[in-house]
Amino acid sequence: MKLTSVPGYFSNYEELAQIPGQTNYAYTKIVSPGDDGVKRKNWQELLDSLPAGHKVFLVARHGQGYHNLIVDTYGEPEWDRYWSKLNGDGELEWFDAHLTELGIKQVERTGSLIFNGQLDGVVPDVFYCSPLRRCIETFHNSWNQVANLQERGITDHDYDTIELNILEGLRETIGEHTCDKRQPISKTFKEYNLINFDQKNNAKKNSDLRLKLNYLPVYTEEDLLWKADQRETNDEIDKRLSKCLQHIWEREKASGSNNKLISITCHEGVIQSILRVLNHESIPRFETSGVVALVVKEDEEK
């Protein structure tokens, strides 16, 4: 099985780069009409018009984490040479990094402008996420407005609890950098499962939304994949993401549901790999809290 992206549904990097003042963090604007001549005014019409066997991956990068802040502070060369190998600098810690205050504001913006604005009440059918803390915090702070959709009369569904499927395959590039080492599952589960977030967990308690963490196999309590002296190559992460996306695809097919909109919360390295694996046009720099929408289909391998 080979998955590939289908162009012509959403604005691309080159188009957005021509718009003065465009931040280029959101690649989710619907192109109307598409290459197939079908006019789509909104997300619901787009989903309704998808050919059979096509789905939309709504892929979000986490907001600024403390490791990103240190990269900005010392520069990328010094980060790669020295700081990335440490857990912190004596003041800040970035092992399995939390979001910064700016990171929280960034993903709240994404939630307001994209998930609660542009999607206009359309909610993904299923949610997948990296196991690293910055992604779990990103998901909560960007999707917390979903909990208010019922009050606004947009949906009859009660979204006070969302099941978040945690996939090890969605982790950032593995190895060397301590920010990308996963803390034990039991600790993350205790911090986030069915808990209303608060400042203790570096996230705001601004809704009643709770996350039910569903760790999909295969997991180990401790992180056995991360190595201090070896980091994944692009080829290695592409093989990992190809298997991960196929796992998501097969899981959705096996569920018997007609899920068309799939949410994925992850990392820049993962998103760049997804774009390569799906043969999608490149996005040279994917900003923290950025979002890209991809129409995906299954091709038979020859």
State the pLDDT confidence band at 245, using cuts at 50, 70 and 90.
very high
26 in helix, strand or coil? strand
- On the question of pLDDT at 201 being above 60, the answer is no
pLDDT in tens, 68-80: 999 999 999 999 9
State the pLDDT confidence band at 243, using cuts at 50, 70 and 90.
very high
pLDDT at 18 (0 to 100): 65
Residue 292 in contact with residue 56, Cβ under 8 Å? no
- On the question of pLDDT at 199 being above 60, the answer is no
Query: Percent of the chain at pLDDT above 90?
Result: 65
Q: What is the mean pLDDT of the chain?
A: 88
State the pLDDT confidence band at 127, using cuts at 50, 70 and 90.
very high
Least confident among 63-67, 157-161, 247-251, 269-273: 157-161
What is the per-residue burial (b if ≥16 Cβ within 10 Å, else e) of 87-123?
A: eeeeeebbbbbbbbeebbbbbbbbbeebbbebbeebb
Tally: H helices and E strands in the chain: 9, 8
How would DSSP label each residue in 164-184? EEE-GGGS-S-SS-GGGSPPP
* 223-230 mean pLDDT: 96
- On the question of pLDDT at 204 being above 50, the answer is no
As annotated, the active-site residues are: 62, 172
Spell out the domain ranges in the chain: 2-63+96-299
pLDDT in tens, 12-34: 777 666 665 555 688 898 886 66
* 262-280 mean pLDDT: 97
Least confident among 42-51, 152-161, 172-181: 152-161
* 288-296 mean pLDDT: 95
Q: Is the pTM of this model over 0.85?
A: yes
- On the question of pLDDT at 298 being above 60, the answer is yes
pLDDT in tens, 53-68: 999 999 999 999 999 9
pLDDT at 169 (0 to 100): 97
* Choice between 88 and 256, residue whose per-residue pLDDT is larger: 88
**Distance in angstroms (rounded) separating the CA atoms of residues 231 and 127:** 28
- On the question of pLDDT at 198 being above 60, the answer is no
pLDDT at 117 (0 to 100): 84
Strand partners, 56: 261, 295
What is the per-residue burial (b if ≥16 Cβ within 10 Å, else e) of 220-235?
A: eeebeebeeeebbeee
Fold classified for 2-63+96-299: Rossmann fold (3.40.50)
* 263-286 mean pLDDT: 95
